[in-house]
Amino acid sequence: MSDERHGIGVLVVDDDFMVARVHRAYVERVPPFKVVGVASTGEQAIAAVDELRPDVVLLDLYLPDIFGLDVIPRLRTAGHDCDVMVISAAREADTVRGAVRHGVVDYLLKPFDFEDLRLRLERYAEQRGKLRGTVVRSQADVDRVLAGAAGPAPLPAALPKGMSVETAELIQRTLRDCPDTLSATECATLTGISRVSARRYLEHFHTIGEARVTLRYGTTGRPERRYSVNGRGSGVPVEDEARA
């Protein structure tokens, strides 16, 4: 395992040279990740893990010599505890279930774009950071890590026109990770999108029951709308305010 101060080491495994090259370029655009090696077969992947000791393996399943999922138990038998993120065109439910049984940290279907991979890498880095210490402080910490490993809660099949799944997942993850409430302005700062866009997504989650809105009153002006996942946060609920 690499020293995290110097980045999170990644091994890219794909039998298509050009695809591996694209994946490598994607990974290297997401700090603190760095590609430590590339392999094109299962045997090469096993040897590379033994030599390079990456933190995470981006593993294609359709390899010329070994099915990708069969690489994982061989890594474990050899004593390697690197994480594995599957990146594959394999859509069979049995394959996905098999990946889950083997303990993969994520499963990303091809084809995908940079934003798809970036979101998953950032989520992985976040969960990895939560387990950096030797002791987990509370059950809440355990729950947050397990929730992150399972990925964000499912999004509705169809978002309103003009909304993207990637941005919706980003807003959803930001809401989930906030310990209390946040405003549209704070959400925009955390996610790097505009305040108007942040508020639109937050209001959408409120409309479908995924987020709670409370009002925070100041000394002057209109109350500030603050958002949280349902069951968390403090303040005057919008529904209660309407009845007041």
For 155-179, write each residue's pLDDT tens digit: 555 678 888 888 888 898 888 888 8
Cβ proximity of 170 and 191 under 8 Å = yes
Residue keyed to tokens 């992985």: 124
Average pLDDT rounded to a whole number, residues 210-235: 80
Q: What is the CATH number of domain 4-114?
A: 3.40.50.2300
Give me the numbers of helices (H) and strands (E) for the chain, helices first please: 10, 8
Give the CATH architecture of domain 155-243.
Answer: Orthogonal Bundle (1.10)
pLDDT digits (tens, 9 = 90+) for 86-140: 999 888 888 999 999 999 999 998 888 888 899 899 989 988 876 666 676 666 6
Question: What is the DSSP track for 187-227?
Answer: HHHHHTS-HHHHHHHHHHHHHTTSEEEEEE--SSSSPEEEE
Domain map (residue ranges) of the chain: 4-114, 155-243
CATH topology of 4-114 equal to that of 155-243? no
Rounded CA-CA distance 56/35 in Å is: 10
